[in-house]
Structure 1
Amino acid sequence: MNETAIKSRAFNGYTVLYSIVAAIGGFLFGYDTAVISGAIGFITTRFDLEPGMVGWTVSSLIIGATIGAACSGVLSDKYGRKKMLVASALLFSLGAFLSALPPGVTGLVIARIIGGIGVGMTSTLSPLYIAEISPARNRGRLVSIYQFAVVTGIFVTFFINAGIAGIGDDAWDVEYGWRWMFGFGVLPGLLYLILLAFIPESPRWLMKRKEAVRALDILERMNGKEAAKSELDEILNMKEEEAGSVRELLSPALRLPLFVGIVLAVLQQITGINAIMYYAPEIFKQTGAGTDAALTQTVWIGIVNFGFTLLALWLIDKAGRKLLLVVGSVSMTICLFMIGYCFHTGNTGYMILFFILLYVASFAISFGPVVWVMIAEIFPTRIRGRATAIASFSLWAADYAVSQTFPMLIEGIGTSRTFWLFTVISVISVLFCVKVVPETKGKTLEQIERQWKERGR
Structure 2
Amino acid sequence: MNIFGLFLVFLTPMLGGFLYGFDIGATSFVLDMLLNPFVISDKTVWWTELSSTQQGLIVSGLSLGALIGSHIIFMYLSEKIGRRMELRLCSIFYIVGSIFNVMSGTIVKDSITLGFFSLFVGRLLYGIGVSFVMHGAPAYLAEMSPHKIRGAVVSAKETVIVGGIVVGYTVGNWVSKNPLNSWTNLYGICGLLAIPMFVLTYYIPRSKRWLIMHGLNKEAYESMKFVYKGDICEGFESLADSVLTGNLCRSNSINKGRHNKPSLFEPQYRKAVIASVGLIFFQQFSGQPSVLSYATVLFKAAGWSGNASVVSSVLMMMTSAVTVLLVERLGRKFLLCTCCIVMMISISALSISFWGWDDTIEAESVGSSQKYVILCSMFLYIAGYQIGFGPINWCIVSEIFPLEIRGKAIALFVEMNYALNFGVQFIIPIIKETLGWGRTFSLFGVILAFAFFFIRTYVPETSGLTLEEIQDILNGEDLNDEEQCESTEETHLLEGVASSSSLFGAAWSLEEMENQIIRTNSGAWKLEEMDNSNKSRR
Q: TM-score range by the shorter chain?
A: 0.7 to 0.9
The alpha-carbon deviation at position 342 of structure 1 amounts to 2.8
Q: Which stretch of the first structure deviates more once superposed, 224-233 or 128-137?
A: 224-233
Is contact 2:205–2:223 with CA below 8 Å preserved after alignment? yes
The alpha-carbon deviation at position 13 of structure 1 amounts to 3.8
How many residue pairs are counted as aligned between the two chains?
A: 437
Cα distance change of structure 1 residues 28 and 411 upon mapping to structure 2, 3 Å threshold: farther
Q: Which stretch of the first structure deviates more once superposed, 423-432 or 327-336?
A: 423-432
Q: How high is the sequence identity, in percent, across the aligned residues?
A: 28
The alpha-carbon deviation at position 47 of structure 1 amounts to 4.6
Residue from 350, 356, 377 that aligns with 2:399: 377
Matched residue type, 1:26: G
Cα distance change of structure 1 residues 320 and 381 upon mapping to structure 2, 3 Å threshold: same
The alpha-carbon deviation at position 11 of structure 1 amounts to 7.3
Question: For 1:160, what is the secondary structure of its paired residue?
Answer: helix
Corresponding residue of 1:66: 67
The yes-or-no answer on 1:239 pairing with 2:250 is no
Matched residue type, 1:75: L
The yes-or-no answer on 1:361 pairing with 2:383 is yes
Is contact 2:333–2:459 with CA below 8 Å preserved after alignment? yes
Q: Provide, for residues 225-249 of structure 1, a one-character-per-residue CA deviation record: whole Å limited to 9, x for no partner.
A: 1323322222222222233966442
Matched residue type, 2:402: P
The alpha-carbon deviation at position 417 of structure 1 amounts to 4.2
Matched residue type, 2:18: F
Is contact 1:246–1:386 with CA below 8 Å preserved after alignment? no
Corresponding residue of 1:249: 264
Corresponding residue of 1:206: 211
Is contact 1:89–1:192 with CA below 8 Å preserved after alignment? yes
Residue from 284, 295, 313 that aligns with 1:302: 313
The yes-or-no answer on 1:35 pairing with 2:26 is yes
Q: Which stretch of the first structure deviates more once superposed, 315-324 or 400-409?
A: 400-409
Q: Provide, for residues 421-450 of structure 1, a one-character-per-residue CA deviation record: whole Å limited to 9, x for no partner.
A: 433332222221122111111111111112
2: CA distance, partners of 1:404 / 1:105: 23
Is contact 2:35–2:50 with CA below 8 Å preserved after alignment? yes
The alpha-carbon deviation at position 105 of structure 1 amounts to 4.9
Matched residue type, 1:86: R
2: CA distance, partners of 1:69 / 1:48: 29
The alpha-carbon deviation at position 288 of structure 1 amounts to 6.6
Cα distance change of structure 1 residues 455 and 431 upon mapping to structure 2, 3 Å threshold: farther
The yes-or-no answer on 1:196 pairing with 2:201 is yes
- Any unmatched runs of 5+ in structure 1? 1-9
Corresponding residue of 2:148: 137
Question: For 1:454, what is the secondary structure of its paired residue?
Answer: coil
Residue from 87, 96, 102 that aligns with 2:89: 87
Cα distance change of structure 1 residues 183 and 278 upon mapping to structure 2, 3 Å threshold: farther
Corresponding residue of 1:273: 288
Hey, which bits of structure 1, 4+ residues long, moved more than 6 A? none
Matched residue type, 1:15: L
2: CA distance, partners of 1:359 / 1:200: 39
Q: Which stretch of the first structure deviates more once superposed, 442-451 or 334-343?
A: 334-343
Question: For 1:425, what is the secondary structure of its paired residue?
Answer: helix
Structure whose alpha-carbon radius of gyration is higher:
2
C-alpha RMSD of matched pairs (Å): 2.8
Corresponding residue of 1:5: none
The alpha-carbon deviation at position 358 of structure 1 amounts to 1.6
Is contact 2:302–2:372 with CA below 8 Å preserved after alignment? no
1: CA distance, partners of 2:352 / 2:55: 26
Q: Which stretch of the first structure deviates more once superposed, 126-135 or 38-47?
A: 38-47
Corresponding residue of 1:3: none
Please identify which structure carries the higher helix content: 1
The yes-or-no answer on 1:153 pairing with 2:164 is yes
- RCO higher in structure (CA 8 A, sep ≥6): 1
Corresponding residue of 1:25: 16
2: CA distance, partners of 1:301 / 1:101: 32
1: CA distance, partners of 2:49 / 2:344: 36
Is contact 1:36–1:278 with CA below 8 Å preserved after alignment? no
Corresponding residue of 1:96: 98
Cα distance change of structure 1 residues 158 and 368 upon mapping to structure 2, 3 Å threshold: same
The alpha-carbon deviation at position 214 of structure 1 amounts to 0.7
The alpha-carbon deviation at position 272 of structure 1 amounts to 2.8
Question: For 2:464, what is the secondary structure of its paired residue?
Answer: coil
Question: For 2:450, what is the secondary structure of its paired residue?
Answer: helix
Corresponding residue of 1:4: none
Question: For 2:329, what is the secondary structure of its paired residue?
Answer: coil
Q: Which stretch of the first structure deviates more once superposed, 202-211 or 423-432?
A: 423-432
1: CA distance, partners of 2:236 / 2:64: 40
1: CA distance, partners of 2:172 / 2:371: 23
Corresponding residue of 1:6: none
The alpha-carbon deviation at position 19 of structure 1 amounts to 1.9
Q: Which stretch of the first structure deviates more once superposed, 106-115 or 40-49?
A: 40-49
Is contact 1:242–1:382 with CA below 8 Å preserved after alignment? no
Corresponding residue of 1:403: 425
Cα distance change of structure 1 residues 413 and 111 upon mapping to structure 2, 3 Å threshold: farther
Residue from 172, 180, 186 that aligns with 2:191: 186
Matched residue type, 2:216: E
Give me the TM-score of the superposition, normalised by structure 1: 0.86
